[in-house]
Structure 1
Amino acid sequence: MSRAGKIARRTFLIGSAAIAGGVAFGVVMYKRPHENPLLSGLAEGEAALTPYVRITPQGITLITPRADLGQGAYNVQAVLIAEELDVTLDQVAVDPGPPSPAYYNTALSHDSAPFASTDDSFMAETTRAVLDAPMKFMGIQITGGSTTVPDGWEKLRHAGAVARETLKAAAASQTGMNTADLRTENGAVILPDGTRLPYTDLAATAAQIAPVEDVALRDPVDWRLIGQDMQRLDIVAKSTGTQTYGIDTRLEGMLYAAVRTNPRQGGAMHSHDAAQAETMRGVHRIVPITGGVGVLADNTWRAMQAVNAIGIDWDPNASYPENMEAHWQALSDSFTEANRDSRFRDDGDVDTALQGADTVQAEYRAPYLAHAPLEPVNATVLVTDTRVDVWTGTQIPRFVQQNVADITGHDTDDVHVHVQMMGGSFGHRLEDTVVRQAAELALAVKGTPVNLTLSREEDMAHDYPRQIAMARGRGAVANGQVTACDLGIAMPSVITSQMGRQGLPIAGPDLQIVAGAWDQPFAIPDYRVTGYRAKGLAPISSWRSVGASSNGFFHDSFLDELIHAAGADPLEERLRLCNHAPSRKVLEAVGDMSNWDAPLPQGTGRGVAYCLSFGTPCAEVVEVTDTPGGIRIDKVFVAAEVGRVVDPVNFENQVQGGVIWGLGHAIMAEITYADGQAEQQNFDSFPFMRLYQCPDIAVRGLENADTVHGVGEPPVPPAAPALANAIFAATGKRLREMPFNKYMDFI
C-alpha cells in the first residue's frame, strides 16, 4: 500500500475511534507519548530529560522544533522552556532538533474544524480534540498557521517544568535530601544551605532516573521572562552580519548546483543540448532531473551561467490556462451550485431578505502572489551508501525526510535533516521541491555534497503562489443598519494543491476557501457565506495568512460598502454588529488608538477593517492623504487579541511586519501568466513596499482571551481593506481589485 493510502486508512481508523469515544485501544495509544528522539544519540553522562531539554556536562540545549523563518520562533520557544526550567537565555543553546513525531503540532488541526474559533461549544471542542488524534499518530511536524506559540504554550512550559523537577530529584538522590527542601535558580539546584548544584553537574544522575511527570506550572506572578521586553537570541548575529542561513552551508569537497525546469509548472523536458555548457569553466557534470536539467560546478555563479547555456526543448502545454483572462473566467464560471465547496455560514433567510430589496452588489478580485523570500531558496544534500544528510531551511522536516528517502532509496531513519535558519518564507518553505532536486543531483555524485541554489528567476517562475480569488457580494440595509449580507467566494483549493504534492489525499471542503469570511463574529440578521471551488487553475500553496489573505479584503470591504449604504459610522456599526467580546475590545482599542472620532483635514481619509483569522481578532485603522502625486499612507493603528504576549518587542515587530507585507502586496504586486508561464521573475517586476512609503505603525496587544493565539499572520488580512476603506473616505473611489496601483498612484 502507498504511503498516502496508509495515512488515509490510519486517519480513518483513528478518527473513528476518537468519535466513538470509548475504544480503549485508541484512547491508550493516543495518550501514549512518542519516543524521545534525543535518547538514541546520548553519550555517557548526558541526559535528555524530555524531547525538548538535553543536558550534558558541557551545557544545556533547548530543542526548538518549530522553524525560524525570521519571526523569532527559536527565541519564543526557548523562552517558554526556560521560564519553567529556571535558566536564563544566555545559559543555553538552541537547536531545532531532528525530525520526529514527538514534535507534532498540537495546534495546527484546530483550523481544520468546521467551527468558528469563537465557538467553544461541546461539539466544537470535541471535534478539535478528534482532529488532533491523526496529527499525533501521523506525527505531523509542521511550522505554520501562526501556531508556534499556541502549540508550545502548555507543551514547552511543561517540558521545562518536567526537566526542572527531574533535576531536583537528581539532586535529592545525590545529597539524600528531601526534594521539597530544594529550589532552583539560574541553571542550578539550590540546597537549603545555599550550595549550588549546576544542572550540568546533575546530568549523569538525572539520566538514570525516570522523568518527574507530575509537575505544576508556575503562577504568572512568578514569571521572569514571559511578558518582558527582551533581546532575541538572533539579534546580535543578524545585526552584525554573522547569522548563518541554509545558503551559507559549506562542506569539504562540495559542488555547487543550478537547475532549469519547465517554466510551465509540471511540464516535462523533451530533450536538451548541453554541448556548450559542458565546455564552460568550472563545470563538473550535467545531470537531468525531474522536469529539467541541473549543472554541477565549482561555484554557484558558474553553475547558473552554464545551466542557462543549455538548449532545452520544453513540453509546450501547461495544465492550467495559458493567459490571465482565462484564469479569471474560470473563477467567474465557478459560481455555480455544482462547484459549491461549503456553506458554513447561513443565518436567517438571505434569499427572502434580498427579494425586492434595494440591494448593494459588488465584485472583488485578488491576484496570484509570489512568496519571494529574500534568502534565495536552497538545499545542500550529501548521499552516501549508508545515509543521507540534508541541510536546508524547511517548515516540513518529516516530509523532507520521507521524500528524500524515496528518491535515494534509503530507509527514512537514515535520512538526517539539519534544519537551518531561514531568511524568510511566507509559506514558501512549506514546499520541498528544491530539496528533491538537490537529492536527485547528489544521488548522481554519491559521496560529494551538493549545494543547490535557485536563481531568483527560476524560483519565481516555479513558485507555488498565493491563490487567485474572486468574490461576489449582495446585501441590504434598513434604518441605518446592515440587515443582510450574502458573500460568495471562488478560489482553487490551497490544501488540495499543497498536500497533493506530499501524496496526502484530502477529502471534504477546504476551509481556506472561506477562511477569514464565514467565521467573522458579526450578528447580521440574514448572513450567508458560500465557498466555490475553482478547478483547473495554476498549482498554489500557503501564503502568509492563506485564504484569509484575500478573504479579509473581500469580506470587510463589502461590509464597509454596506455600512456606507446604510449611512452608519464604519466603526460604530462594526461594534454594534460584533457579538464576540474580545473582538469588540479589539475594535474599541483601535478606535481609541486612532482617535477615530477626531475630524480630519480635506483630502485625508481614515478606514477601519477587522478580520478574525487563526483564532486571533485583529483590527486596523489606516490614515491616508490624497496628494497631487498620489495616495500617501500616513499612519496605521493595529490592535490584536492574543491571550498572552510572550515577548512585547517581538510582538510589535511581527505585527508591523504583517501590516507592511499586507499593504505592499495590496498596492503593487501580482503574478500573471502568459503562454502558461509566470511573467514576473524578479523584484523589478514584483516590487515590495519601499522604506519611504512605510507609514508609522502603532501596535497594541490585548490579553483578555482565555486561550493563547499567534500573531504572525493575523495582521495581514485587515491591511488591504483598511487601506481601501481609507482611500474611499479620502477620494470617494472604491477599490475592489488588487493590486490597487492599477487604479491610482501611490507615493
Structure 2
Amino acid sequence: MSRAGKIARRTFLTGSIATAGGVAFGVYMYRRPSANPLAAGLHEGEAALTPYVLIRPDGVTLITPRADLGQGAAHVQALLIAEELDIELDQVGLDPGPPSAAYYNTALSREALPFASTNESRLAETARSLMDAPIKFLGIQITGGSTTVPDGWQKLRVAGAVARETLKAAASLETGLPVSDLRTRGGAVLLPDGTRLPYTGLAARAAEIDPVTDVTLRDPSAWRLIGKPTMRSDITAKSTGQQLYGIDVTLPGMLFAALRTNPRQGGEMLGYDASRAETMRGVHKIVPVTGGVGVLADNSWRAMRAVEAIRIDWGPAPYRPHQGEHWRALENSFTDKRRDSRLRNDGDVDATLASTTPLEAEYRAPYLAHAPLEPMNATLQIKDGKVDIWTGTQIPRFVQKNVASVVGVKPAQVHVHVTMSGGSFGHRLEDMMVRRAAELAMQADGRPVKLTLSREEDMAHDYPRQIAMARGRGTVSGGHVQAFDLGIAMPSIMRSQMRRLGMPMMGADLQIVAGAWDQPFAIPDYRVSGYRAPDLAPISSWRSVGASTNGFFHESFLDELIHAAGADPLEERLRLCNHAPSRKVLETVGEMSDWGAPLPEGRARGIAFCLSFGTPCAEVVEVTVTESGIRIDKVHVAAEVGRVIDPVNFENQVQGGVIWGLGHAILAETTYDDGMAEQRNFDSFRFMRMYQCPEIIVRGLENDSRVRGIGEPPVPPAAPALANAIFAATGIRLRQMPFVRDMDFV
C-alpha cells in the first residue's frame, strides 16, 4: 500500500473520533441553513428569496459572491441562477453581495486532503464530506482554486429554482390558481390565459411566505442558457470603457493616498525625513504606517510624487537577501529532515534505481510576480463608528475581520463593497494593502481615503509565486518507462499565506507536490516526494499554485524518460494512463493536433499533460526553428470539465491560461538582490507580446460526472509542452525557466 493510503486512513479515523462525541449537534448545525445576509434592511415590496436572488419593485438582482477578476465569474454565476429562475441575463443586475458565511466555498474541501482527485473511494468521499463542515462553520468565502463553477453548479441552480417556485407560490396566493397551472418565462409567472405577472410585482407577496425548498432541477434537455454561447454580462461596459473597477471609485471629499513600505518584504522602517514632501503642492498629511509611510494628498499623482520625495532609512530583510542564497537553500533541502510528504510511493523505486544507472535531471522555476494590469488599490472611509471599504478582493470576510482589528471595531461594523478587479492571478488573495489603507484612513478625520499603489510599489511588495526546484531519477526497460522518482523542493506556500491571514497551517503542504504526486499514470516504480525548504521571501498563491511549477517538472522528466525508452510521447502516456477521463483527454488532443503526422523540416510538436484542481488537461505545442529563434505556431488543448457552462467563456479562459503559462515560461522571473525584488515594471518583468501569440484551438470534454473548473488547469501543461516541442525540434532540453536564458524566441 502507498503511504498516501496510510496517511489518509489515519487522518480519517482521527477525524471520526473527534467528531463522534458531538455528532448529533454537528449534523444539526451543518444542515441548518446559513442566515440570509440580504434579509436585513429590506424595504417594503422587496424580497430576498435566497441569499442569491433579490427582487425589488424596480428589478431583479442576482448575487454573484465569487469575485470577478476578469475571468467571467459574475457572468457564469448569474447564468446558473438565471437558468432555473427563468429570467434573461439582460433583465437582471449583478452584485457581488456582502461578505457572509452564507457564501462559503464548498468546493475548497476537495483540494484540502491527501486524496488524488481520481480517488472516488468511499473513504475519500467521506473525508471530503467531513472537510466541508469546518469550511461551512468558519464561513470560508474565498475565490480561487478554479472552484467557482464546481462550488456553484448545484447551489446556484437550486437558488434559482427555489426563487422560481416561491414566486409561483406567491402568484398562486394572488390569483387563487393552483401552482400546477402556473409556468414561468422571461422574468414573469404565466397564468393559463397568458397573463404575465412580473416577478417584481410579486416580490411583496413572496416576502410574506416561507421559501419553497422542495424543488426539482430541470433536465438538461430543457436548458436555455447552460452549454449555449452567450455574451458575457460585462462585455459591453468593458468594450466601451464604462466598466468601473476599484481604481475608479470616487467619493465626495476624498483624499488620495500613496504608500512606501520597506521593499525588503516584512522589514522595518528605521526612520524617515519628510521635510521636502511636506512642502509639495497638494500634500495634506504625512502618515507613518506599519513598515513605512504614506502621503494623503488631493490627487494620486501628487501623493505618489510626494511619497517618493521622503528620505527613508529601511531595515534589513528578514530573509536571505540575495538570489543565489535562495537557490542554495533549495539545493540543500533534499534531505530526510526536510521531507514534507511522500504521497506517491508505488513499487520498489530504490531497488529498481539501484539495478542500473538511472537517468538524472534537475529543473528550476523562479519566483514570479502576479502583476495584474490594475495595481492594488482600496478606498476606505471611517466615520461614525463604521468602516466602508471599496476594493477588489478574493477574500472579503478576511478583509472585514482584519480591517476591524486594525481600526479597533467589530467585524459587523466593517462593510466591504467588492468591486470588479482588473486581474489578480492570486494577488487579491492578499489584504495587506487594505490594512495599510485602513491605517491611513484612521488619520483622515472621517474623509474617504483612496490608496493606489504605483506599479513599482505594487510589484516590489507582491507576494510572488514560489521558487522551486526538482530532481528526477528514473529508468526505462523494454521500450517503456519503468521507474520515476521525483523530488520537489520549495518553501511552503500555504504557511506563508495563511500566516498573513492569521490562520494556522498544520500538517504537510500539499501544494509542494500538487500536479505531480496525483497524476493518473501507472508507472511500475513511481515515487513523488515533497521537501519543504526553509522560509525565504514571502510567497503566495499564483495561478495554478504548486502545479504551476510541478507540471513543468513532472512532464519534462517524464518526456525525458519516454525519449530514453525510444517510445512515442503520446503513445507511452496513453499506455501508462489509468484514468479513463484523462486517457480520453490525451486521445482527443492527439486527434486535434494530428499527432504523428509528418511536419516540415524545422518544425516539431511537444505534448504535456497535467491533472490539477480535478481537471485533466493536455496540450500539444507546435514550434518552428527560425534563424532568429523559436516561433510558437499553434497550441491544441483538450480538457475534461464534466460540463461546459458557456462555450465562449470556456474558450477564452483556456486560451488565456495557455498564454499566461507560455509567456511566463519564456520570459518572466522575479529575482532578489539586497532583499529587494529587482523587477518593478513591465520593462524588466517581460511577458508575451501579441505578435508572439500562437493560434490556440480548444476542446472541452463532458464525460466526467463531476463538474470541474477551468481557470487554472490550462497553465501547468503549457511550459512543458513547449519545452518538449523545442527538444523535438532542436535536441536541446530546457530545464530552467525562463527559457529565454537558453533560447531565443521570435
**Under TM normalisation by the shorter chain, which class is it?**
over 0.9
Take 1:13 and 1:230, find their aligned partners in 2: how far apart are those partners? 47
**Structure 1 residue 448 and structure 2 residue 437: aligned?**
no
Structure 1 unaligned blocks of 5 or more: 1-10
**Structure 1 residue 265 and structure 2 residue 274: aligned?**
no
Q: How does 1:230-629 map to 2 (within 5 A)?
A: 230-315=230-315, 317-629=316-628
Please give the per-residue CA displacement for 1:317-353, whole angstroms capped at 9, x wherever unaligned: 2121111111000001110001110011000110011
Tell me what 1:709 maps to: 708
Contact 1:474 1:485 (C-alpha < 8 Å) held by counterparts: yes
Structure 1 residues 449, 84: CA separation in 2 closer, same or farther (over 3 Å shift)?
A: same
SS of residue matched to 1:108:
helix
Q: Which amino acid aligns with 1:414?
A: Q
Take 2:13 and 2:638, find their aligned partners in 1: how far apart are those partners? 42
Take 1:266 and 1:231, find their aligned partners in 2: how far apart are those partners? 44
1:45 Cα shift? 1.2
SS of residue matched to 2:465:
coil
Contact 1:249 1:380 (C-alpha < 8 Å) held by counterparts: yes
1:175 Cα shift? 1.1
Take 1:289 and 1:437, find their aligned partners in 2: how far apart are those partners? 7
Tell me what 1:151 maps to: 151
Take 1:701 and 1:84, find their aligned partners in 2: how far apart are those partners? 23
Q: How does 1:109-120 map to 2 (within 5 A)?
A: 109-120=109-120
Q: Say which is worse superposed, 597-606 or 80-89, in terms of deviation.
A: 597-606
1:536 Cα shift? 2.7
SS of residue matched to 2:546:
helix
Normalised by the size of structure 2, how large is the TM-score? 0.98
Take 2:606 and 2:463, find their aligned partners in 1: how far apart are those partners? 32
1:446 Cα shift? 2.8
Take 2:547 and 2:258, find their aligned partners in 1: how far apart are those partners? 35
Q: Which amino acid aligns with 1:253?
A: G
Take 1:705 and 1:725, find their aligned partners in 2: how far apart are those partners? 28
Contact 1:15 1:133 (C-alpha < 8 Å) held by counterparts: no
Structure 1 residues 15, 91: CA separation in 2 closer, same or farther (over 3 Å shift)?
A: farther
Tell me what 1:204 maps to: 204
Take 2:14 and 2:36, find their aligned partners in 1: how far apart are those partners? 22
Q: Which amino acid aligns with 1:683?
A: F
Aligned length: 736
Take 1:491 and 1:568, find their aligned partners in 2: how far apart are those partners? 31
Tell me what 2:7 maps to: none
Contact 1:18 1:130 (C-alpha < 8 Å) held by counterparts: no
Q: Say which is worse superposed, 730-739 or 377-386, in terms of deviation.
A: 377-386
1:108 Cα shift? 1.0
Q: Which amino acid aligns with 2:227?
A: G
Tell me what 2:672 maps to: 673
**Structure 1 residue 60 and structure 2 residue 60: aligned?**
yes
Contact 1:15 1:134 (C-alpha < 8 Å) held by counterparts: no
Please give the per-residue CA displacement for 1:182-208, whole angstroms capped at 9, x wherever unaligned: 111111111111111110010000000
Q: Which amino acid aligns with 1:737?
A: Q
SS of residue matched to 1:39:
coil
Tell me what 1:654 maps to: 653
Q: Which amino acid aligns with 1:65?
A: P
SS of residue matched to 1:66:
coil
SS of residue matched to 2:501:
coil
Q: Which amino acid aligns with 2:308?
A: N
Please give the per-residue CA displacement for 1:53-89, whole angstroms capped at 9, x wherever unaligned: 0001111000000000000000000000000000000
Take 1:12 and 1:390, find their aligned partners in 2: how far apart are those partners? 40
1:22 Cα shift? 7.1
Tell me what 1:699 maps to: 698
Structure 1 residues 648, 477: CA separation in 2 closer, same or farther (over 3 Å shift)?
A: same
1:557 Cα shift? 0.3
Take 2:96 and 2:555, find their aligned partners in 1: how far apart are those partners? 38
Tell me what 2:6 maps to: none
Q: Say which is worse superposed, 354-363 or 586-595, in terms of deviation.
A: 354-363
Normalised by the size of structure 1, how large is the TM-score? 0.97
Q: Provide the identity percentage.
A: 74
1:525 Cα shift? 0.5
1:445 Cα shift? 1.1
Q: Which amino acid aligns with 1:198?
A: P
Contact 2:12 2:127 (C-alpha < 8 Å) held by counterparts: no
Take 1:381 and 1:496, find their aligned partners in 2: how far apart are those partners? 29
Contact 1:14 1:134 (C-alpha < 8 Å) held by counterparts: no
Please give the per-residue CA displacement for 1:234-281, whole angstroms capped at 9, x wherever unaligned: 001111111110000000000000000001010010111100000000
SS of residue matched to 1:516:
coil
Q: Which amino acid aligns with 1:223?
A: W
Take 1:58 and 1:13, find their aligned partners in 2: how far apart are those partners? 53
Take 2:432 and 2:632, find their aligned partners in 1: how far apart are those partners? 38
SS of residue matched to 2:106:
coil
Q: Over aligned residues, Cα RMSD in angstroms?
A: 1.3
Tell me what 1:4 maps to: none
1:14 Cα shift? 12
1:385 Cα shift? 2.8
SS of residue matched to 1:425:
coil
Take 2:188 and 2:218, find their aligned partners in 1: how far apart are those partners? 17
Take 1:111 and 1:650, find their aligned partners in 2: how far apart are those partners? 24
**Structure 1 residue 104 and structure 2 residue 119: aligned?**
no
Q: Which amino acid aligns with 1:513?
A: I
Take 2:318 and 2:532, find their aligned partners in 1: how far apart are those partners? 17
Take 2:559 and 2:724, find their aligned partners in 1: how far apart are those partners? 7
SS of residue matched to 1:141:
coil
Structure 1 residues 16, 250: CA separation in 2 closer, same or farther (over 3 Å shift)?
A: farther
1:104 Cα shift? 0.3
Contact 1:15 1:131 (C-alpha < 8 Å) held by counterparts: no
Tell me what 1:5 maps to: none
1:16 Cα shift? 5.5
1:358 Cα shift? 2.9
Contact 1:18 1:26 (C-alpha < 8 Å) held by counterparts: no
Take 1:682 and 1:574, find their aligned partners in 2: how far apart are those partners? 40
SS of residue matched to 2:40:
helix
Tell me what 1:7 maps to: none
1:17 Cα shift? 7.2
Please give the per-residue CA displacement for 1:472-523, whole angstroms capped at 9, x wherever unaligned: 0000100000011000000011111101101101100011000000000000
Please give the per-residue CA displacement for 1:126-145, whole angstroms capped at 9, x wherever unaligned: 11111111100000000000
1:21 Cα shift? 8.9
1:357 Cα shift? 1.5
